[in-house]
Chains A and B, each alone.
Chain A
């Protein structure tokens, strides 16, 4: 039986069902089921968020100035982006402005996250979908050295001896019989296409990136005191700046600024010498694999981020693009209004929540959610041993957010598509350069590889923007402004009786916003819609499938029992399930009186 979805996909559930649970190398927990036909082509896809923590229930009644610390714990991978979104929401609600230095420091921290997250995602969560470490054992280190020097002439780690050492280490590791994280991988699957030399180069960079990533986050430790989970405040940043006076060791001083500056330089170098060349090299060898476009060529959404000047969240002041594209029409970028009750709404007919009226969608400020774990009648297995999901019933802890009724893709590719369509010159230059080097058409962007490539380009863009804001802050300090916080409305006695606000960022995985209502100085209502809620969305009341599901459609899997291609496409979104699954309960009732197991 086939079903036509309103967003243009033909679903056929007649073929063999393949279940992947757990989906690994993601943040949090998810499950994926697909049907494949007799040619091993995916004809139906079902994505299930398999965890729920209820942070918004927990936030009710708390001090809004504390909210950032709670919501920061939504995710320790995109750590900080929820905190930044939260302080922006509170500042929006209470009309609090921040000093220029605080804006620069927040931007540097957010850009640092973008760079770190993208780099770790590519090398440590995604690379093993393309790179075969076992095949790297067959490589000739001399050939690997030549390959390295040809793709990245400036990278110092390129000698035959260097690659031989790494290969020896890998060889002994494999020969030990204890394969650790590589155990039970799909190393004989024909979906792996790289020659051994490229595999060895990429595995080497897996290790180099693992060493380097910890350096990047030092920037956030300088400004935020620790990472993961640095510190933030409503009204600015907690780190004071003191470049002249007594006691400068207690604040941001010249030594700290130099430290940040040197890490920025090293980061730009690493991205240019390692990450981008690897994307070109690996992308070039896989460029015939153009599956996974899904919604990216149809509906994409970005809120924008990185305000150039403080306190201005208008599109023109945001250095990351903002807007929506519908039905693949790149000629028109629609404005997005997070406050308009008719634009962003969440639906739950296929989510484990109940609404009074499940036909309706609700804007986050008016969110209404009660958890309701209930499986569809055609589920195979039992309530606590699900063998096959029934996607006609409720099937995910993720809600279905829609923009004007449309399922949307968010993330680096969505941002790059919006930026490209809006004529954002830095983005169009980068995209044209990459497509030129790969000898690929613009349409190639709308694919799994396009998503992976856009992430790399954005990483490079963000690394340079770190430099921009560092220079901007130094210029501001030179001009005599060293303020980092505005405490005018710090005291709750200065707040109105009721207020509501919205804060947004572009998290590494895509558009992120928090909506807050404050009443009598306490949180009355807190709602987040996060990138993986958009991308990992289940079906809605109209039957539109979400971005993960759409991207898996029509993909050929070489060996259905070995989900390499499914992982490849899901990972290209960098799923973050701890982020995506949340709830707001109107009454915040105690939910703990269920039996002890």
Chain B
């Protein structure tokens, strides 16, 4: 008999009252109303921990490093109590064939009832041998692990889009997961890396509601990726007022003016950095003085220099220009529909204040 999250928490000496508080905090961190707390509580009281295989391809491990920085929930609680992280070569005790045996066991024993999380991506050149696991191409392990998976989480920009190793000229032909695995539901959680609390919120959501959160056309959860950094940036009033940092450490930099002229990609980047922020809500790149480099966007490495300002923008200081910037740049990546949706979302948000759009 596998124990549930609630069993585990109770046995740790956590009171029911604290447990319910945890559930309502989880609901809040997922952007859900307090009425969802009982649903989360019910799920956590009754479900065994879902097995997760976390594979690593060509990557830098920044997604795992981000994941362990989650403040709510703590990664300790995720690993011990929420899911069963049966394979993750970055932290697992076993190695070699004992490690490989776990993948086989989970794929066979939990048919259709485990989650495959992928960090990094498979290279396809050189018969896949630019990334070797157990003497074989990583892409083989990926295909096998995906074969019986219930669903796949593509962590970060590598798995979602290709990221740095896929930047021109992509010497290894590093390929995002959805182009290799085409018959499974995939949720993309892009970013280099994604925000820790976004990662754990996605996991909590899937475990709680037994489904993916609502996704946009590109497969990203809308709750975190439907608005641009610029839309919710605390420096936005300076953009609207035409107050810009002109050079590093100038008067504007010290006053926290807008970084648009320093190349900030906030107007074209869909992510939650300006709302959820980083490392327990402490800061985000713009707050610490550097423009957004757009790390959650497809192909962000090949869209011009990080200090080149977004082009074709001739006027500043008028609020509607922000949307024009967003649309123009989104058009470049061929995602005009998403931009339109986002523009209307912003308009709704503007009209309705804090109401859910």
**Contacts A184-B98, A241-B254 known; A58 to B76 CB distance under 8 Å?**
no
A28 at the interface (CB under 8 A from B): yes
B240 at the interface (CB under 8 A from A): no
Interface majority SS on A: helix, strand, loop or mixed? loop
B150 at the interface (CB under 8 A from A): no
A513 at the interface (CB under 8 A from B): no
B332 at the interface (CB under 8 A from A): no
- Residues of B with C-beta under 8 A to A323: none
Whole-angstrom distance between the Cβ of A169 and the nearest chain B Cβ: 5
B235 at the interface (CB under 8 A from A): yes
**Contacts A178-B48, A213-B68, A240-B253 known; A51 to B95 CB distance under 8 Å?**
no
Q: Which of B94, B255, B283 contacts A183 (CB 8 A)?
A: B94
A188 at the interface (CB under 8 A from B): no
16 CB-based A-B contacts, threshold 8 Å: A21-B134, A22-B96, A29-B132, A50-B133, A53-B123, A58-B171, A73-B60, A169-B11, A172-B11, A181-B85, A210-B75, A211-B74, A251-B254, A484-B249, A591-B169, A594-B173
A231 and B131: CB pair below 8 A? no
**Contacts A73-B192, A217-B279 known; A245 to B255 CB distance under 8 Å?**
yes
B58 and A165: CB pair below 8 A? no
Known: A79-B60, A383-B127, A591-B125. 13 other contacts (CB 8 A): A24-B90, A24-B91, A29-B89, A29-B138, A50-B132, A73-B60, A76-B65, A183-B102, A184-B92, A184-B98, A213-B68, A240-B248, A251-B289
- Residues of A with C-beta under 8 A to B279: 214, 217-218, 221, 226-227
B8 and A181: CB pair below 8 A? no
A232 (CB) vs chain B CBs: closest residue: B290
A258 at the interface (CB under 8 A from B): no
- Residues of A with C-beta under 8 A to B255: 242, 245-247, 250-251
Kindly identify, within residues 1 to 56 of chain B, every residue whose CB is under 8 Å from any CB belonging to chain A.
2-3, 7-8, 11-13, 48-49, 51, 56
Interface string of A146-190 (1 = CB under 8 A from B): 000000000000000000010011001101111111111110000
B49 (CB) vs chain A CBs: closest residue: A178
B70 at the interface (CB under 8 A from A): yes
- Residues of B with C-beta under 8 A to A248: 254, 256
**Contacts A73-B192, A240-B253, A250-B287 known; A22 to B65 CB distance under 8 Å?**
no
Q: Which of B2, B170, B257 contacts A177 (CB 8 A)?
A: B2
B96 and A224: CB pair below 8 A? no
Q: Which of B3, B59, B301 contacts A578 (CB 8 A)?
A: B59
Whole-angstrom distance between the Cβ of B80 and the nearest chain A Cβ: 6
Interface string of B116-143 (1 = CB under 8 A from A): 0000000111111111111111111000
B282 (CB) vs chain A CBs: closest residue: A221
Assembly CA distance A29 to B130 (angstroms): 10
B284 (CB) vs chain A CBs: closest residue: A225
A463 at the interface (CB under 8 A from B): no
The number of chain B residues with a CB under 8 A from chain A is: 108
- Residues of B with C-beta under 8 A to A180: 49, 79-80, 84-86
B335 at the interface (CB under 8 A from A): no
Whole-angstrom distance between the Cβ of A370 and the nearest chain B Cβ: 10
B241 at the interface (CB under 8 A from A): no
Assembly CA distance A419 to B279 (angstroms): 35
- Residues of B with C-beta under 8 A to A75: 60-61
- Residues of B with C-beta under 8 A to A217: 69, 279
- Residues of B with C-beta under 8 A to A597: 124, 127-128, 139
- Residues of A with C-beta under 8 A to B289: 225, 231, 237-240, 250-251
Q: Which of B12, B60, B80, B288 contacts A222 (CB 8 A)?
A: B288
Interface string of A358-397 (1 = CB under 8 A from B): 0000000000000101000000010111110000000001
Interface string of B244-288 (1 = CB under 8 A from A): 000111000111110000000000000001000011101111111
A220 (CB) vs chain B CBs: closest residue: B279
Interface string of B220-233 (1 = CB under 8 A from A): 00000000000000
Binds A, one of B160-168, B205-213, B323-331, B337-345: B160-168
**Contacts A247-B256, A563-B95, A567-B95 known; A236 to B249 CB distance under 8 Å?**
yes
Q: Which of B97, B165, B285 contacts A54 (CB 8 A)?
A: B165
A590 at the interface (CB under 8 A from B): yes
Assembly CA distance A124 to B235 (angstroms): 38
B202 at the interface (CB under 8 A from A): no
B107 at the interface (CB under 8 A from A): no
Kindly identify, within residues 85 to 118 of chain B, every residue whose CB is under 8 Å from any CB belonging to chain A.
85-86, 88-102
B278 and A227: CB pair below 8 A? yes
- Residues of A with C-beta under 8 A to B90: 24-27, 125
A58 (CB) vs chain B CBs: closest residue: B167
B8 and A76: CB pair below 8 A? no
Q: Which of A55, A70, A172, A229 contacts B7 (CB 8 A)?
A: A172
- Residues of A with C-beta under 8 A to B169: 57-58, 588-592
Binds B, one of A61-69, A272-280, A299-307, A469-477: A61-69
B172 at the interface (CB under 8 A from A): yes
A320 at the interface (CB under 8 A from B): no
Assembly CA distance A251 to B287 (angstroms): 7
Q: Which of B79, B137, B192, B248 contacts A233 (CB 8 A)?
A: B248
Whole-angstrom distance between the Cβ of A498 and the nearest chain B Cβ: 20
A211 and B96: CB pair below 8 A? no
A194 at the interface (CB under 8 A from B): no
B349 at the interface (CB under 8 A from A): no
A594 (CB) vs chain B CBs: closest residue: B125
A427 at the interface (CB under 8 A from B): no
B58 and A24: CB pair below 8 A? no
Whole-angstrom distance between the Cβ of B143 and the nearest chain A Cβ: 10
- Residues of A with C-beta under 8 A to B164: 53, 55, 58, 70, 73
A381 and B248: CB pair below 8 A? no
Whole-angstrom distance between the Cβ of B176 and the nearest chain A Cβ: 14
Q: Which of B12, B64, B133, B135 contacts A381 (CB 8 A)?
A: B135
A77 and B61: CB pair below 8 A? yes
Assembly CA distance A525 to B88 (angstroms): 36
B132 and A238: CB pair below 8 A? no
A563 and B96: CB pair below 8 A? yes
B99 and A184: CB pair below 8 A? yes
Kindly identify, within residues 179 to 223 of chain B, every residue whose CB is under 8 Å from any CB belonging to chain A.
192-193, 195-196
- Residues of B with C-beta under 8 A to A356: none
Whole-angstrom distance between the Cβ of A339 and the nearest chain B Cβ: 28
B152 at the interface (CB under 8 A from A): no
**Contacts A22-B89, A58-B165 known; A225 to B99 CB distance under 8 Å?**
no
- Residues of A with C-beta under 8 A to B86: 178-180, 183
A53 and B58: CB pair below 8 A? yes
Q: Which of B75, B80, B91, B249 has the most CB of A within 10 A?
A: B249
- Residues of A with C-beta under 8 A to B174: 53
Interface string of A44-55 (1 = CB under 8 A from B): 000000111111
Assembly CA distance A250 to B86 (angstroms): 43
Assembly CA distance A346 to B324 (angstroms): 51
**Contacts A180-B84, A233-B290 known; A74 to B60 CB distance under 8 Å?**
yes
Assembly CA distance A381 to B137 (angstroms): 13
A422 at the interface (CB under 8 A from B): no
